[in-house]
Structure 1
Amino acid sequence: MRRKKQRFSVLTFTILSNDAKKAVTQFRLPKLGIFFMFFLAVIPIILLVYFMTLSSQQQQENHRLATELRHQTSKSEDLLAQVEHIEEKTSEVEQKMEELNQLETQMLDYITELPVSVEPSGGLHIPVPEMDIDEGEGFSFSQSSDLIERYKETIKEVEEVNEALRYIPTAWPTVPDTITSDFGVRSDPFHLNDAIHSGIDVRGSIGTPVYAAADGTVTKAEYYGGYGNTIMIRHSDTYQTIYAHLSEINVDQGETVKKGETIGSIGSTGRSTGPHLHYEIIKDNEPVDPKTYINIYE
């Protein structure tokens, strides 16, 4: 019984030769050894197939990941480009808003400082730029640029007017501003008959400062007959001013003065009945009513 079992557990291999004289060769191998050898031969094949399959899957995954990376990189670059564009627009908006704020401040300063009129005949015309922005719509760069340009044009016009005003006698020549004798026909205080008063008389105490009514050049700074101590200032080809009966003269002939600058003091020199300032405005070589100009500020 044991022999039969052993016969089936061993395989016998017989090798026959073509030469009849040679002996027959036989060898036996256990079945378990053959299965083991077969298993050893199959394992590398299985592993090779496994790793080839794994490598293929890995390559596919790598390709997918590379594609996804390129996609994400492209999206990141697009986002960066959008962020840079937004930053540029934001910077541009901030710059334009800052420029508008500066221009607005300039406009407010000029409007605050400027009088209502530069000539007796009418008021100062300062065009206010209209904003072409519909309700509910955004403020475009083209609109802001257009508004800035119109602001600049308006400011330029205001600057030109302001420059012209420097040479127009609109400032009060002294403080207080109480007028005791108007321009025009009046009763002469010395002869008691009607006479033309070519300026206005402003009440004041001796020593009260007298100011230049506009920028200009002093053409006279001396005692001048009935006017007493007198200052004459040439402001332009159009305007001159006269300050008479002064107690002091603080400027010299040929000197340049600015609007509001102290040039002398109220007195009672010359043909005068008491301390006051006689003030005249000469326009195109003819005296005009100073109140028309100095009341611009009221």
Structure 2
Amino acid sequence: QNLRALERLMEHAGKALALMPSRWPVRGAVNSEFGHRPSPWEEGTEFHPGLDIAADPGTPVHAPAPSSVVFAGRQPDFGLTVVLLHGHDIRSIYGHLSKVLVSAGQTVGRGQLIALTGNTGKSTGPHLHYEILVKGQPVNPRAYLWE
């Protein structure tokens, strides 16, 4: 009986892990980390809620895990943006895109092409802004990235 309970627990944990955004959406140097940083816009510091990953415009952006597209469009600061829901109230945000290749309501698989990097919105140059929210709060994406 205990073994059966442990098997169910492991199965549940495996399914939960499969939904985690553990894959890098693009490969590139991280040129701005999560956390407080000097503001590129004004004097002083600001909180940066994600990672800025250097990428040439048009670089493919891939879904890091199975998910649902909850937003695909333009936002004031991030320009062209995609927001994915991974379950367990975990969302990932992809900003400054040049092209969005998915639509709200669509289901995407791990590794699926969702967008192309760009320089839209309030941006200092071509890159991908990658952010993870847990229950609406930004968390360091590096805590999830192991692939």
For normalisation by structure 2, the TM-score amounts to 0.90
Count how many residue pairs are aligned between Structure 1 and Structure 2. 145
Tell me by how many angstroms 1:158 deviates. 4.5
Q: Does 1:248 align with 2:103?
A: no
Give the counterpart of 1:170 among 22, 40, 61: 22
Specify which structure has the higher proportion of helix. 1
Give the counterpart of 2:82 among 217, 228, 231: 231
Alpha-carbon distance in structure 2 between the residues aligned to 1:260 and 1:159: 22
4+ runs deviating over 4 angstroms: 152-158
SS of the counterpart of 1:172? coil
Tell me by how many angstroms 1:293 deviates. 1.1
Shift in CA distance, 210/290, structure 1 to aligned 2, threshold 3 Å: same
Tell me by how many angstroms 1:160 deviates. 2.9
Paired amino acid for 1:160: H
Alpha-carbon distance in structure 2 between the residues aligned to 1:249 and 1:239: 21
SS of the counterpart of 1:231? strand
Tell me by how many angstroms 1:153 deviates. 7.8
Aligned to 1:106: none
Tell me by how many angstroms 1:232 deviates. 0.5
Q: Which runs of 5+ in 1 are unaligned?
A: 1-149
Q: Does 1:208 align with 2:34?
A: no
Q: Looking at CA atoms only, which structure, 1 or 2, has the larger radius of gyration?
A: 1
Kindly indicate whether the alpha-carbon contact (under 8 Å) linking 1:175 and 1:208 is maintained by their aligned counterparts in 2. no
Shift in CA distance, 174/155, structure 1 to aligned 2, threshold 3 Å: farther
Q: Tell me: higher relative CO, structure 1 or 2? Use CA pairs within 8 A at least 6 residues apart.
A: 2
SS of the counterpart of 2:16? helix
Aligned residues with identical type, % of pairs: 37
Paired amino acid for 2:23: A
Aligned to 1:270: 121
SS of the counterpart of 1:226? coil
For normalisation by structure 1, the TM-score amounts to 0.46
